[in-house]
């Protein structure tokens, strides 16, 4: 059996998934707080006809390297890279970026907890702080209708200046972090959920104990580097073509062998 047919097919499948991943990264190059995904490959099982270290007939020496052939590759993981994106100034007092480690907490529609790096805060008709999709940030903060200026400190304390020039503290954002953020489950809408792989969320105060500081008037941009992704796309395309060519070559060999009967 010519295993190069299957090795080439596995390579094409892996490169297709890599291209899909790169395309998704590029599609989210302007998504607030998006974290790029990197596919990771592993080689498949090997077939050994001679194992390294096998004693030879006189028992005084051994085979130094062995004889084996591989059976292709596969994607072992799509690892999300949580490096910090650039902070972009927006001059919008409701925009808040996390400079450093941490996630905002939000309440999902089913009552469970979600986590996001997107600090593009909006207000509902009652003054509650919500996400672009209408989910409330936690701890919940409500802005009074007579507020003329909103102040969000680097430690997450939210205050409002009122019409009478007095300042009222409205609440405080807390952040959470995970021992393995790559284990978070992406849910779409810039939201992640905790899994057993990510570990339990560790809640703390912004700008303390290793948590990032909040920056009012800024948003964290995607950490996708378009040039790097394009280079990866070209590399993956070439690898896909070469795997396809290895299948064609194996097919030519089989055709030659079958022609020997004539």
Tell me the per-residue pLDDT of 21-60, one tens digit each, with 9 for 90 and over.
999 999 999 999 999 999 999 999 888 888 887 888 766 7
Give the separation between CA 63 and CA 125, rounded to whole angstroms: 77
Mean pLDDT of the chain: 92
* 157 plus 47 within the same structural domain: no
Q: Do 8 and 54 share a domain, yes or no?
A: yes
pTM over 0.85: yes
91 & 206 share domain: yes
CA distance 26 to 34: 11
Domain that holds residue 110: 87-220
Q: CB neighbours of 10 closer than 8 A, spacing ≥ 6?
A: 44, 71, 72, 73, 74
Please check whether residues 212 and 108 belong to one and the same domain: yes
Q: Are residues 215 and 228 in the same domain?
A: no
Give the model's pLDDT for residue 254. Answer: 83
C-alpha 226/C-alpha 247 separation (Å) is 32
* Of the candidates 220, 202, 211, 31, the residue with the CA atom closest to the CA atom of residue 113: 202
Could you give the number of structural domains in the chain? 2
CB crowding 227-238: b at 16 or more within 10 Å, else e:
eebeebbeebee
Q: Report DSSP state, residue 209.
A: T
- 92/163 same-domain check: yes
Any idea which residue has 């992640």 for tokens? 192
234: phi then psi, degrees, rounded to nearest 5: -65, -45
Is the pLDDT score of 195 beyond 80? Answer: yes
- Pick the closest to residue 128 from 171, 85, 72 (CA basis): 171
With pLDDT > 90 as the criterion, what percentage of the chain qualifies?
78
Q: Tell me how far apart the alpha carbons of residues 134 and 138 are, in angstroms, rounded to a whole number.
A: 13
Q: Does 63 share its domain with 176?
A: no
Do 154 and 187 belong together in one domain?
yes
CB 160 within 8 A of CB 149: yes
Output phi, psi for 191, to 5 deg: -115, 140
- Nearest-angstrom CA–CA distance, 218 and 227: 24
My answer on whether 182 and 235 are in the same domain is no
How many other β-carbons are positioned within 10 Å of the β-carbon of residue 206? 26
pLDDT at 95: 97
Structure tokens at 84: 């910090």
Reported confidence tier of residue 177, pLDDT bands at 50, 70, 90: very high
The tens digit of pLDDT for each residue in 147-160 reads 999 999 999 999 99
Grouping H, G, I as helix, E, B as strand and the rest as coil, residue 107 is strand
Please report the pLDDT score of residue 261 as a whole number.
65
Are residues 144 and 205 part of one domain? Answer: yes
Looking at the structure, do residues 197 and 248 belong to the same domain, yes or no?
A: no
* pLDDT at 13 (0 to 100): 94
Q: Which of 70-74, 160-164, 199-203 has the highest mean pLDDT?
A: 199-203
Does residue 122 sit in the same domain as residue 194? yes
């Amino acid at each position: 059996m010519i295993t190069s047919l299957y090795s080439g097919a596995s390579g094409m499948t892996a490169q297709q998934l890599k291209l899909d991943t790169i395309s998704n990264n590029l599609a989210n190059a302007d998504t607030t707080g998006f974290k790029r995904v990197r596919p990771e490959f592993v080689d498949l099982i090997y077939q050994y006809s001679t194992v390294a270290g096998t004693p030879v007939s006189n028992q005084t020496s051994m085979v130094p390297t062995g004889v084996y052939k591989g059976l292709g590759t596969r994607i072992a993981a799509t690892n999300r890279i949580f490096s910090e994106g650039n902070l972009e100034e927006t001059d919008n007092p409701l925009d808040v970026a996390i400079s450093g480690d941490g996630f905002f907490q939000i309440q999902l529609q089913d009552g469970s907890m979600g986590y996001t790096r997107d600090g593009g805060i909006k207000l509902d008709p009652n003054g509650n702080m919500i996400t672009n999709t209408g989910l409330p940030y936690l701890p919940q903060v409500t802005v009074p209708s007579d507020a003329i200026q909103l102040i969000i400190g680097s430690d997450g304390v939210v205050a409002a200046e009122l019409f009478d020039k007095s300042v009222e503290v409205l609440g405080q954002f807390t952040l959470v972090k995970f021992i393995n953020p790559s284990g978070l489950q992406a849910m779409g809408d810039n939201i992640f959920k905790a899994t057993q792989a990510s570990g339990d969320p560790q809640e703390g105060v912004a700008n303390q104990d290793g948590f990032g500081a909040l920056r009012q008037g800024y948003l964290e941009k995607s950490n996708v580097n378009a040039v790097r992704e394009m280079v990866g796309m070209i590399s993956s395309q070439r690898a896909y073509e070469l795997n396809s060519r290895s299948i064609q070559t194996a097919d030519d060999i089989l055709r030659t062998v079958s022609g020997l009967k004539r």
